[in-house]
Amino acid sequence: MMRRAFSRIEPLSVLTPLVFCILCRCQPSAPVPAIKEVVIGDGIRLHYLEQGSGTPLVLVHGSLSDGGYWTDQIGPLSEHYHVIAYSRRYNYPNQNPTRAGYSAVTDGEDLASLIGPLRLGKVVVLGHSYGALAALFLAVRHRQLVRAMILAEPPAVSLLSHLTGPEAKSGMDSFHDIQRRMVEPMQQAFRSGDRNAGVAIFMDVFDDPHAWEKMSESSRQETLNNAHEWDVMMTTGTLFPEIDPGTIERITVPTLLLSGAKSYPFLALISQDLTRLLPNRQNIVLPDAGHQMWYEKPEECRRDVENFLGKAGTH
């Protein structure tokens, strides 16, 4: 995998956080596209990478990451698609003004606003983790802009509180556990200005309980470089905004749900519910991958995406 195109320093050597994306840790084997910038309105500027031609394919990264998460995928995917990989509002190298109310809903609206100035028309959107949640909100609110979707384990946590049947209790238990052990302590840490503690809570709760302290100082600093979105989200915004299951049922575009069999159980519950709700979907579970499937099985993920898009007629 290639080094992050947006990075200023060498990225992490060890990090496996729960719901969101980690930082890319690789060296380039091919030229990296130039970083571009677009104004999407209301004083917001987004940086992005662009390569290829044809049907627009927008790549959306998760948290603790930036647009360079996709650097090693841009070249291969650009052989068939016009690929755009951008950094979400408060991720490197963006320097946008702080606005209250930030969440994945905001990211979905930013994505809709990005499509216009770049004159992309209807797009295929591929999101991983929190980026997949942003893509889901884009499809809920702006279905006319979406040609097809690939969602890799979006943390649509509010769905856990709406599960029915035999999964209802485990879904509700997971929902309350996430609020109690992760969201509320992270809010307290960030509201007190302790970013270091906030990120540590996130990683320690769902991974090794001493994961943060075991990391080198340089690795911790690199992680914190892309934690600004949580400075905003945890103080004046919402980490896991509510999404109405009924609105998901009205998304009719072809959708691929990518999951890792070794991922976190609550994400599997969410993926199962999305499989039930989305009327035009395909579900692929990678047996030897976890939440970081795009690092663990990059070729398999890309092959599944290209096969899906080929069958959906998006070339």
Range from 17-26, 130-139, 206-215, 280-289 carrying the lowest mean pLDDT: 17-26
Provide the pLDDT for residue 131. 98
Instruction: Sketch the domain layout of the chain as residue ranges.
Output: 36-311
pLDDT band, residue 18 (cuts 50/70/90): very low
**pLDDT tens digits along 123-139:** 999 999 999 999 999 99
Predicted local distance difference test score (pLDDT) of residue 260 = 97
Helix (H) or strand (E) holding 231: helix 228-236
pLDDT at residue number 206: 63
pLDDT of residue 170: 95
Tell me the pLDDT band of 89, cut-offs 50, 70 and 90. Answer: very high
d(CA 176, CA 64): 23
Query: Measuring CA to CA, how many Å separate 191 from each of 95, 130, 176?
Result: 20, 21, 21
For residue 187, pLDDT beyond 60 = yes
Residue of 89, 132, 82 whose CA lies nearest to 113: 89
As a whole number, mean pLDDT of residues 96-117 equals 97
State yes or no: pLDDT of 17 exceeds 60. no
What integer pLDDT is reported at residue 295 of this predicted model?
A: 94
> Is domain 36-311 annotated with CATH 3.60.10.10?
no
Q: Which residue has the higher pLDDT, 37 or 1?
A: 37
The whole-model pTM stands at 0.90
The residue ranking higher by pLDDT, 204 or 9, is 204
